[in-house]
Amino acid sequence: MTNCQETAAQPADLIARHAPLLDRAIAATETREAWSPFRDSPSSKIHGAEKPAAGKAAFAARRDTRFTIDQPGITGWVGAEVSPFTQQPLGITYPRSDPQALIAAAQAAQPAWAAADPELRLALCVEIAQRMYDRNFEMAHAVMHVAGQSYTQAFSGSGPNALDRGIEALAYAARAMRAVSPDGTYHRDFAGQPVALEKRFTLVPRGLGLVICCASFPTWNAYPSMFASLATGNPVIVKPHPIAILPMALVVETARAVLAEFGFDPNLVTLAADTPEAPVAGAFVADPAVQIIDFTGSPRYGSHLEQTVVGKLLYTETAGVNSVVVESVDDLDDAARAIARASCLFSAQMCTSPQVIYVPREGIATAAGHAGFDTVAQAIVAQVDAIADQPAQAAGIMGAVQGQVSLDVVTDATAEAARRDLRVLRPAAPYDHPDFPEARTMTPLILAVTPAEVDLYAEERFGPVLYIVAADSGEAAVAEATELARTRGTISCYLYSTDAAFLDAAEPRYLAAGANLSINLTGAMWINFAAAYSDYHVTGLNPAGNACLTDLAFVASRFRIVQNRRPARVEIAAQ
């Protein structure tokens, strides 16, 4: 037994330990069934009383301190996060490192990582995911107080639901890498002469991965992006949004600890914290060593990258305009409740939040008879009110508004509505958060408009603003919704109809627009919930992003194959 074996964690054990989970995840990506190794409820019945308290305390202990990460090239400490719930600074600062130092450190760390067994890289990523799950109560408070998500949403959506997407990326990475045999023998006659070759095929990573995270839901795409690059052998530099650094700092901290524990250079994962005044992403994007860029964030910067990055892999998710078409329903209240809940969730600050609701101006059929446009619109307003008027429920669903900019969106939309003399179906107003009296809250503004106002609603309004559009007909609604999807992008579209023929005609239009579609969803599941392993998130076919998170295409290009071949050794037994 060597010293090494005594002191370092055992790779073979780790691979064996996580193999069943990875195999189960692969099976789920094949069947698209519901599955998760995690529990996404924060209930202390599941987790015990201790973990929730410990997580809250861990977050509290971070306040007004430096978040130490022992990475190279630290030139200062930055951080100006403000809690949307207290509107007070968190007081946490993070190392700002010289980009060249992080790049050089990642390059130095890469050879050993590239040479490691791909199965070990996969297992280490699973281990990171499980450690993040272990500290998920801390993560929940971190996400709450930088992004504004409610406690339960931060726990589930930024925890297990996001971790599952990371493991889903690992499942695809495993499938893509295992598709390459490490060796092969080749026997063929050439001109009557037998030729026997031994061939070896080595997976070679592309280079450094840069993961640029969004502000409102940082872990959601960061896990799949990080794990897709890491598992395929590429170091990762994490560039968090400057107003939401803490969640990604926790991830970087955990990843580095796991890597170091298993004898790898922790600089395989580093944090590139910056400030709005001195953004650093461009320095990484421009560096030839950075070969893979995963971007989640504004359409403005995403589109800049899409139009300028050449010779590198670029995966983007930006934003679009998600629509609902209500053509006919069984139960109006059920549909209205589903739409209202999706519109209220996280105050419409989600990539899947609906913004435009098309209702035929002549009204719709319901099981209870005809419902006019106003009846449908008022049903939606009533369901929003039902949430907004109960502060405990509003707090659990809407959480807080992350930034003043989203309040400005509401103010501007209200002013523009007044200028155009639009019908305000529901004015926006703050709700009183039961736990955080200073919380930046805002319940949805709901406006009734006609297609003449398309310039207003066809642009993403990142905040709680909802347009109910009086469409000429159900068909016209689908035509406009899909045109919006095609030209402005969409992550998720919603359609309500009880008419099978109408649905049959509508579905190909959504398909042609590259729009994922949820049909007639009501009930307990959020209609804008995207389940890892089961739902494909983002099609890559419209301006809302160029990639799917995740599918084989999301991982298959992150590594290359280099071969060598030589004469096969003589098989003496076969003579």
Residue from the set 58, 80, 204, 283 that interacts with a second copy by CB under 8 A: 204
DSSP 318-375: ----EEEEESB-S-HHHHHHHHHHHHHGGGG-STT-EEEEEEETT-EEETTEEE-HHH
Contact predicate 495/510, CB 8 Å: yes
State the nearest-atom distance from the C-beta of 34 to a second copy, in Å.
Answer: 4
**53 near a second copy (CB under 8 A):** no
**300 near a second copy (CB under 8 A):** no
Residue from the set 6, 564, 570, 573 that interacts with a second copy by CB under 8 A: 564
* Alpha-carbon distances of 243 from 79, 247, 466, 496, rounded to whole Å: 8, 11, 26, 37
State the nearest-atom distance from the C-beta of 17 to a second copy, in Å.
Answer: 26
**34 near a second copy (CB under 8 A):** yes
**23 near a second copy (CB under 8 A):** no
State the nearest-atom distance from the C-beta of 170 to a second copy, in Å.
Answer: 15
If the CB atoms of residues 251 and 530 are measured against a second copy, the closer one turns out to be: 530
If the CB atoms of residues 306 and 472 are measured against a second copy, the closer one turns out to be: 306
If the CB atoms of residues 472 and 507 are measured against a second copy, the closer one turns out to be: 507
State the nearest-atom distance from the C-beta of 15 to a second copy, in Å.
Answer: 22
Distance of CA 225 to the CA centre of its chain: 9
What are 557's two structure tokens? 């290009």
CA distance 44 to 9: 31
Q: How many residues bind a second copy (CB under 8 A)?
A: 72
**368 near a second copy (CB under 8 A):** no
Residue from the set 518, 528, 544, 549 that interacts with a second copy by CB under 8 A: 518
Q: Which residues lie below 8 Å from residue 280, measured CB to CB, with a gap of 6+?
A: 96, 99, 239, 272, 274
State the nearest-atom distance from the C-beta of 205 to a second copy, in Å.
Answer: 10
Number of H helices, E strands in the chain: 21, 19
**536 near a second copy (CB under 8 A):** yes
Rg of the chain over all Cα atoms, to the nearest angstrom: 25
Residue from the set 329, 342, 548, 549 that interacts with a second copy by CB under 8 A: 548
Residue from the set 149, 153, 349, 539 that interacts with a second copy by CB under 8 A: 539
**Span from 246-254, 260-268, 390-398, 539-547 in contact with a second copy (CB under 8 A):** 539-547
* Alpha-carbon distances of 148 from 162, 204, 383, 405, 564, rounded to whole Å: 17, 40, 22, 13, 53
**Span from 56-64, 361-369, 431-439, 533-541 in contact with a second copy (CB under 8 A):** 533-541
Contact predicate 211/238, CB 8 Å: yes
Q: Which of 120, 353, 378, 406 is nearest to 243 (CA)?
A: 406
* CA quadruple 277, 280, 282, 283: dihedral sign: positive
If the CB atoms of residues 60 and 180 are measured against a second copy, the closer one turns out to be: 180
State the nearest-atom distance from the C-beta of 529 to a second copy, in Å.
Answer: 8
**318 near a second copy (CB under 8 A):** no
Residues 138 to 177 in contact with a second copy, rule: CB under 8 A = 175-176
**107 near a second copy (CB under 8 A):** no
Fill in the per-residue mask, 493 to 512: x = in contact with a second copy (CB under 8 A), - = not in contact: --------------x--xx-
Each residue of 58-68: b (16+ CB within 10 Å) or e? bbeebeeeebe
Residues 179 to 198 in contact with a second copy, rule: CB under 8 A = 179-181, 183-193, 195, 197
Q: Which of 466, 520, 501, 491 is nearest to 326 (CA)?
A: 520
If the CB atoms of residues 26 and 381 are measured against a second copy, the closer one turns out to be: 26
The one-letter amino acid at 258 = V
Q: Which residues lie below 8 Å from residue 187, measured CB to CB, with a gap of 6+?
A: 194, 195, 196, 197, 568
What are 95's two structure tokens? 């190392």
If the CB atoms of residues 229 and 546 are measured against a second copy, the closer one turns out to be: 546
Contact predicate 356/481, CB 8 Å: yes
**308 near a second copy (CB under 8 A):** yes
Residue from the set 562, 570, 573, 574 that interacts with a second copy by CB under 8 A: 562
CA distance 487 to 470: 21
Q: How many CB atoms sit inside 10 A of residue 143's CB?
A: 32
If the CB atoms of residues 85 and 533 are measured against a second copy, the closer one turns out to be: 533
State the nearest-atom distance from the C-beta of 491 to a second copy, in Å.
Answer: 12
**39 near a second copy (CB under 8 A):** no
Q: Which residues lie below 8 Å from residue 307, measured CB to CB, with a gap of 6+?
A: none
Residue from the set 32, 63, 66, 420 that interacts with a second copy by CB under 8 A: 32
**30 near a second copy (CB under 8 A):** yes
What SS3 state is found at 465? strand
Residue from the set 276, 369, 437, 567 that interacts with a second copy by CB under 8 A: 567
**Span from 301-309, 365-373, 425-433, 435-443 in contact with a second copy (CB under 8 A):** 301-309
**574 near a second copy (CB under 8 A):** no
